[in-house]
Structure 1
Amino acid sequence: MSTTVVITGASAGIGRATARRYGRRGANVVLVARGEGGLRAAADEVTALGGRPFVRPADMADPAQAEGVAADAEREFGPIDVWINCAFASVFAPFDEITADEYRRVTEVTYLGFVNGTRAALARMLPRDRGTIVQVGSALGERSIPLQSAYCGAKHAVNGFSSSLRTELLHRGSRVHLTIAQMPAVNTPQFDWVRSRLGWHPMPVPPIYQPEVAARGVVYAADHPHRKQYYIGGSTAATIWANRLFPALLDRYLARTGYDAQQTDRVPPTGDDNLFTPADRAPADDHGAHGAFDDEAHAHSWQEALLRHPGTTALGAGAATLAAVAGVRRLTRSAA
């Protein structure tokens, strides 16, 4: 019997790459996003790979639309086995240059969109006492950086909300599982369509990974949801551990380097951003999974590979700790 998976933010980036992996498994894949172009192209890919797609446009910031997604998914394919929350929005700018409406919109999509999706999924999973929810998180949910205060705040909120809900599920003895896949910097199209007030084209903070690395981590987390969270990419593990050990040092380092590290030497994008309306409104406006940084992005991660081999978990944790210590030594020299 085919697995039924709902993926929000499925039109591009990590969500798109994850949809492809489930397509290869022959899964029933419910593709959710606002834009028509990316969703239609994603559906064609899922079909070509052997899966069964169902396109369901929705804005996850609206709880009624999230509920409609879940209801339609189960009418189309039956019970939802896996729900993956991946939709987000952001603004690249100093805090005092982000308007109240912009801040609210980022929070509604990137945080409340996860709350709405989780609520809709749980309404169906709890009575059956089975199912898995995967939150696509970020290293920035534990270690904030400049110029992304709205996004970092929302990802921190996802962590807090998910931890609280997990304890409630444990209290109930529920067999519904909730886990988080914490992501590194990923080469997605968001840097071409994000709302930005930077002087140059925004970019992810290196090291950068391809969406396929992230998607492998998401699917692994869905297959093994008993852990609270998974760190995808060596930089995620190193960043989070370094922040736990030396947060003040990282503050000073990021204050010095964080602005330049998030900008290229290219002119900023000139097209429409996707904060309030999708960037792929027309069927031909497909942006795919990859962004503009293929030349810099890594297609593989030693840490993510170790993650998928349980016998090497301790080795991976030790390597991440050593990477964190080495990173802190570099930061110490830079911040001195």
Structure 2
Amino acid sequence: MRIRNSVVVITGAASGIGRATALRFARRHVDLVLASRRVEALESLVSECTALGSRAIAVPTDTSEYDAVQELASRAVEEFGRIDVWVNNAAVSFFSPFLDVPMRDFQRVIDVNLMGYVHGARAALERMQDQGAGVLVNVASIVGEVPQPYTSAYSVSKAAVRALGVSLRSELTLDRKKRIHVCTVLPPTIDTPFFDHVANYTGRRAVAMPPVYSADRVAKAILGVVDSPTREVAVGRIGRSMVRQHRLMPGRLEKLMAHQVENTHLSKKESAEDSTGNLYGPSLDPVNARVSGGWGGRRRTVQRTVVGSALLGTALGALVFAEPLKTGVPVLAGRAANLGRELLGAD
């Protein structure tokens, strides 16, 4: 659909992917309705978007509350007359062994990451049905395809978001609503402040797991699926490779993911006290109200990509010797070589 002059709603807009997406849309001169729990961060974002040529309003919203999300949609229609694009992006998480996390925290992640998206989809599609057109974008995650340890609720929620997208697309097909689209975006590890205010019960500081991509890379993908609606898009070459390889060799890649999280997602040098992070209230640190979390930088991103490529390449290369009878050496060797080429050229 045509982005320019569209009305766009973005949840989780105060920082990270949401903020980067808002700024990309602002450069296309859309009307923006920006939602988050952080009032001051939203107000500063409105100023930035206005300076780029967009009209923008801030609507403080806790997406886990159905009535609040309905009010967000109503404000968008009252202010700008319609909703052309809705981006479900607000999310929270914890790092914890499954048996150690308080059940209240597990439920909170589901309430925000899954029910928040359900609330957003309901509010958006109700308005889009009346209009006869629109694009709903759900920001899921690569862990919705390849779940990881210590983030059980987050992994569950992102897998469910993918299923939600499939179900909604199926209903739209049956209703012959060809001008209403539901698109799912799957980011890998992204350079945002997310890891600085995540809940944690591991005793170790959570850090960005390599390879790390910029939030603007995800924002670009989001605008891409709005420009040309696509059912599902994995961000980054390694992200796309992980999706393909998980479907080919799920057991092996799941083991690889487990070890990589253990070795690179939780610091072996820095400890962390038990904390609920931003599960029940937004971070008040203004440093966390920005796009980047300080995990990127061109040189560091290249280094992390090389490390991630080596880990994946070594593990998958071992399959040539581990499973010769099941798949055949030539086939596995070819797949490993193809993956190696993809990873070494990771973007």
User: Scaled by the length of structure 1, what TM-score is found?
Assistant: 0.86
Whole-angstrom distance in 2 between the partners of 1:81 and 1:268: 45
- Describe the shift of the 1:333–1:187 C-alpha distance in structure 2 as closer, same or farther (beyond 3 A): farther
Whole-angstrom distance in 2 between the partners of 1:118 and 1:201: 34
Could you tell me whether the CA contact under 8 Å between 2:200 and 2:276 is conserved in 1? no
Matched, 1:222 2:226: yes
Matched residue, 1:289 = 291
- How far the C-alpha of 1:329 sits from its partner, in A, is 2.2
Aligned equivalent of 1:137, options 117, 140, 143: 140
Could you tell me whether the CA contact under 8 Å between 1:192 and 1:292 is conserved in 2? no
Aligned equivalent of 1:69, options 53, 69, 72: 72
Q: 3-state DSSP class of the match of 2:220?
A: helix
- How far the C-alpha of 1:44 sits from its partner, in A, is 1.5
Tell me the amino acid that sits aligned with residue 233 of structure 1. G
Whole-angstrom distance in 2 between the partners of 1:191 and 1:285: 12
Residue segments in structure 2 that go unaligned for 5+ positions in a row: 324-347
Moved more, 59-68 or 265-274: 265-274
Whole-angstrom distance in 2 between the partners of 1:43 and 1:124: 24
Aligned equivalent of 1:241, options 241, 244, 263: 244
Matched residue, 2:193 = 189
Structural RMSD (CA): 2.6
- Describe the shift of the 1:111–1:84 C-alpha distance in structure 2 as closer, same or farther (beyond 3 A): same
Aligned residues: 311
Whole-angstrom distance in 1 between the partners of 2:148 and 2:217: 22
Moved more, 326-335 or 197-206: 326-335
- How far the C-alpha of 1:267 sits from its partner, in A, is 2.9
Whole-angstrom distance in 2 between the partners of 1:57 and 1:204: 28
Matched residue, 2:10 = 7
Tell me the amino acid that sits aligned with residue 292 of structure 1. G
- Describe the shift of the 1:286–1:325 C-alpha distance in structure 2 as closer, same or farther (beyond 3 A): closer
Could you tell me whether the CA contact under 8 Å between 2:16 and 2:192 is conserved in 1? yes
Tell me the amino acid that sits aligned with residue 195 of structure 1. A
Listed one character per residue, the Cα deviations across residues 170-199 of structure 1 (whole Å, up to 9, x for unaligned) are 110102111111111101101000111233
Structure whose alpha-carbon radius of gyration is higher: 2
Moved more, 200-209 or 116-125: 200-209
Q: 3-state DSSP class of the match of 1:277?
A: coil
Aligned equivalent of 1:213, options 211, 217, 226: 217
Q: 3-state DSSP class of the match of 1:133?
A: strand
Listed one character per residue, the Cα deviations across residues 213-246 of structure 1 (whole Å, up to 9, x for unaligned) are 1110111111111x21111111211111111011
Whole-angstrom distance in 2 between the partners of 1:331 and 1:36: 51
Whole-angstrom distance in 1 between the partners of 2:310 and 2:52: 37
Matched residue, 1:250 = 253
Aligned equivalent of 2:176, options 173, 176, 184: 173
Whole-angstrom distance in 1 between the partners of 2:42 and 2:321: 44
Matched residue, 1:52 = 55
Matched, 1:329 2:329: no
Whole-angstrom distance in 1 between the partners of 2:320 and 2:268: 25
Whole-angstrom distance in 2 between the partners of 1:223 and 1:32: 22
Whole-angstrom distance in 2 between the partners of 1:68 and 1:123: 13
Q: 3-state DSSP class of the match of 1:105?
A: helix
- Describe the shift of the 1:201–1:333 C-alpha distance in structure 2 as closer, same or farther (beyond 3 A): farther
Whole-angstrom distance in 2 between the partners of 1:78 and 1:246: 48
Matched residue, 2:161 = 158
Listed one character per residue, the Cα deviations across residues 136-183 of structure 1 (whole Å, up to 9, x for unaligned) are 111111110111111000001001111011000011010211111111
- Describe the shift of the 1:159–1:12 C-alpha distance in structure 2 as closer, same or farther (beyond 3 A): same
User: Scaled by the length of structure 2, what TM-score is found?
Assistant: 0.83
Could you tell me whether the CA contact under 8 Å between 2:114 and 2:157 is conserved in 1? yes
Tell me the amino acid that sits aligned with residue 224 of structure 2. Y
Whole-angstrom distance in 2 between the partners of 1:152 and 1:272: 18
Could you tell me whether the CA contact under 8 Å between 1:43 and 1:54 is conserved in 2? yes
Identity %: 32
Tell me the amino acid that sits aligned with residue 13 of structure 1. G
Whole-angstrom distance in 1 between the partners of 2:99 and 2:93: 15
- How far the C-alpha of 1:269 sits from its partner, in A, is 6.2
- Describe the shift of the 1:324–1:196 C-alpha distance in structure 2 as closer, same or farther (beyond 3 A): closer
Q: 3-state DSSP class of the match of 2:205?
A: coil
Could you tell me whether the CA contact under 8 Å between 2:49 and 2:56 is conserved in 1? yes
Whole-angstrom distance in 1 between the partners of 2:270 and 2:53: 40
